[in-house]
Amino acid sequence: MSLTAKYFPLLGLAKKSKDQSNLNSRERLVNMKNAFIVNNSLNSQDGIFLIDDLITTGASIMEGVRAVGEAKITVNGIITACAVGRNSLIR
């Protein structure tokens, strides 16, 4: 069994947003609202996987899913290197 995958930057910034490291959950959602646009045409009916380096509140990845959905692209899943939960000891 083999897996064929391609990487390409699909999302671009639609607006300048603040650094999120010092924002609370609500502020992050407001900060990321309409922050991304799809800047590449994608000719795939199989859908995509979004990649994010770190997920804390999920504001960035949710905004990415929204932007990709508006472009009528299916998100099959999300890949992340690190996810930090609200009550995590890792902060």
Report pLDDT digits (tens) over 7-45. 888 999 999 999 998 999 999 999 999 999 998 777 667
Report the domain count for the chain.
1
Residue at 34 is within a domain: yes
Report pLDDT digits (tens) over 44-79. 677 899 999 989 899 999 999 999 999 989 999 999
pTM (2 d.p.): 0.81
Quote the pLDDT of residue 6.
83
Quote the pLDDT of residue 87.
58
Residues 6+ apart with CB under 8 A from 20: 27, 28, 31, 32, 56, 59, 60
Residue at 15 is within a domain: no
Residue at 11 is within a domain: no
User: Residue 71 is part of which domain span?
Assistant: 23-83
